[in-house]
Amino acid sequence: MLHFSALPVASSKARQLALAGFALLAPLAASAQTITSFSPTYGTVGSSLTITGTSLTTATAVQINGETMRITATNAVAGTITVKVPASASTGLLRVTTGTGTVLSDKGFRVTRQSTSFSYPASGTATGAGNLGDYSTPTIADLDDDGLLDMIVGYGDGANNTNGGTLRRFEQTSLTDGTFGSSATTTPRTLTVGAAASGATNPAITVANYAKPWLTDLDGDGLLDMLVGETGGTIRLYEQNSTLYPNNFGPPITLFANPDATTPANRYYARPTVVDLDNDGLLDILVGANDGFIRRYEQKVAGANTTANFNDLGTLKTSGGLAIDGGDVSKAQVLDIDGDGLLDLLIGNAAGNVLQYVQSSVGAATFDRVGTGSFNGIALGAGQYAAPLMADVDNDGLMDLLLGNFNLASGDIQRYEQSASTATPLPVVLTSFTGQLATAGATLRWVTASELHSAAFVVERSADGRTFADISTLTAAGTTNAAHAYSYLDATANTQTSTTLYYRLRQVDQDGTTAYSPVVTLTRTTASAASTRSQTASAYPNPFTESLYVVLPAGSEPQAAHLELATLTGQVLYAGQLQLSAVPQQLTNLPALTPGLYIVRLTTASGTTMQRVSRR
């Protein structure tokens, strides 16, 4: 996959997936809506992306890999919706649901991580409201659509909880706070069930002991579905009545009953989680239980939320075909912890341990064990019933591991925060892509700092900036840590009827996955204006520390230019007019820049070029 960056190539796993790209429609059912593109094609948890298409602005829900993406803006004129990458997101297809159906992007949005560390030092507790029960199991979503995370905690029936299995809601104290329910405005509230709109007069939701919740939106209607596992092995589904009254849910339906008729006790203490294992847009419900195995149910069609619309696919297995046994009373969560494209499976158990498995290959439903001990040495102790939940709850780019537990003395959710480390290396690191008009045609040049399993670069051209066609394919370097420079001459550029031409690269990996570069725009003032006066500037050094320079190639004629320095999300941090020449020119009065990636955009009479630079 192709990305602008200056990151080293290394991997904590054998192969990396960088699903990205401007998407085409891949429908799950006949519908009027389409997805034509999304931008950016990758980003971190908490970042925004804009999806463009037809009939999307009435969307009721947008999801990625089973996680609901909050819709923050719609633009009916442009046909776009803007969404936020959720706290537990992993790379996957974008799934948009409207009143007329559901569509998928044909390529995934890649969720990158600011850290790839598997080290999680203790950070205290996530709930600050005192002991409300034992056998706690957390799940996270935004119930009232206010941008703050809500943690739903299911409890058991021990000495501190005499009402059976109950569920309570804690709200995040602020966007950057990793604690929940620790202020007067965020006092934990018991979830209710019934027809009363506000829920104030409705009874509390109770199940047959040991409530084990998970929040998702199975049918894509914008209202969250809460799956609750209970003692007898049954999974019940409660659908939210309204985001205006987030504590209140409709009456339950039985989604799955205990499937083990021979030995029902094997399936006791059901603990559900939801993910899209094979990245086909159909959600998988994984259910842990007393016997330690993880059973998988997959939707038959998108939007299914009844028993008849799920296939029972049996228990999760290793790549060698052995059933995965996570230990008694297993609780699973699946997400990509280090951002390398392979899903990680965490399983908590009654012994207080958390076991880690990694997906055998991209899109596989098989996982293989990592190590022989508990995840990062975290062990709550025998009889603590570890219930893992991983999410970035304080919006700092580091993933937090939250652990529910027995802990009769306190009832708190234990919190561990990921250690900082080098961010995920990307399979193809593209440092520049530029174009230049000349009498012979349009010359395109690009440089990669490193490549991993790269097969080819396809040069695409467009006359309108929307519809692109292939014009040439160049063989890529494969796997290399050395910089490689490529160039291609479009000798037919000056014969095109359009005076403005748009170019982009489609990078193809050896496994067939693809990604796209930014677009380079070249404009001819007349049919004969394509001359050597059109020169391409570059910014250096890259990476830079404090000072950044721009310069034209030696022998170039001076030209006026407009320069912008922006974040990857498009926020312009610096702009100015300058006279470019072959003499290096330092950009003065740059704002204080945090380490990371930025875009340098230069516009001259011959067009616009973009270069990604890295601030150390």
Dist CA 332 CA 344 (whole Å): 10
Q: In what helix (H) or strand (E) does residue 555 lie, and over which residues does it extend?
A: none
Buried b (16+ CB within 10 A) or exposed e, 436-458: bbbeebbbbbbbbbbbbbbbebb
Contact 352, 379 (CB under 8 A): yes
pLDDT of residue 324: 96
Report in angstroms the alpha-carbon separations of 154 from 133, 168, 401, 593: 9, 7, 17, 43
* Residue 174: closest CA among 390, 391, 393: 393
Angle (CA) 567 476 518, round 5°: 25
pLDDT of residue 422: 57
Token pair belonging to 270: 């059901």
Amino acid at 516: Y
On the CB side of 386, how many CA atoms lie within 13 Å of its CA? 29
Grouping H, G, I as helix, E, B as strand and the rest as coil, residue 493 is helix
Angle (CA) 273 274 277, round 5°: 120
* Residue 216: closest CA among 22, 437, 64, 436: 64
Amino acid at 159: A
Cα 467 to its chain centre, rounded Å, is: 27
The model's pTM:
0.66
Can you tell me which residue has the tokens 């748009």? Answer: 502
pLDDT of residue 163: 53
Amino acid at 409: A
Q: What is the DSSP letter of 11?
A: -
Contact 325, 347 (CB under 8 A): no
pLDDT of residue 525: 59
Residue 613 Rama label (left phi>0; alpha psi -120 to 50; beta): beta
pLDDT of residue 483: 80
Grouping H, G, I as helix, E, B as strand and the rest as coil, residue 88 is coil
Dist CA 575 CA 136 (whole Å): 52
pLDDT of residue 531: 39
- Strands, E assignment, 234-386: 235-239, 248-249, 253-256, 271-275, 284-288, 294-299, 310-315, 331-335, 344-348, 354-359, 367-369
pLDDT < 70 stretches in the chain = 1-31, 128-132, 157-164, 182-187, 196-198, 408-411, 421-427, 525-536, 554-555
Q: What are phi and psi of 410, to 5 degrees?
A: -125, -35
- CA torsion through residues 107, 86, 413, 199, sign: negative
Residue 430 Rama label (left phi>0; alpha psi -120 to 50; beta): beta
* pLDDT tens, residue by residue, 469-496: 899 999 998 888 778 889 899 988 888 8
Q: What are phi and psi of 341, to 5 degrees?
A: 95, -10
Residue count of the chain: 616
Contact 616, 543 (CB under 8 A): yes
Contact 350, 356 (CB under 8 A): no
Buried b (16+ CB within 10 A) or exposed e, 49-75: bbbbbebbbebbbbbbbbbbbbbeeee
Token pair belonging to 96: 């948009």
Amino acid at 578: L
pLDDT of residue 130: 54
On the CB side of 77, how many CA atoms lie within 13 Å of its CA? 0
Contact 429, 9 (CB under 8 A): yes
* pLDDT tens, residue by residue, 151-172: 998 888 654 445 568 888 888 8
pLDDT of residue 574: 92
Cα 387 to its chain centre, rounded Å, is: 22
Q: What is the DSSP letter of 553?
A: P
Q: In 10 A of CB 184, how many CB atoms?
A: 5
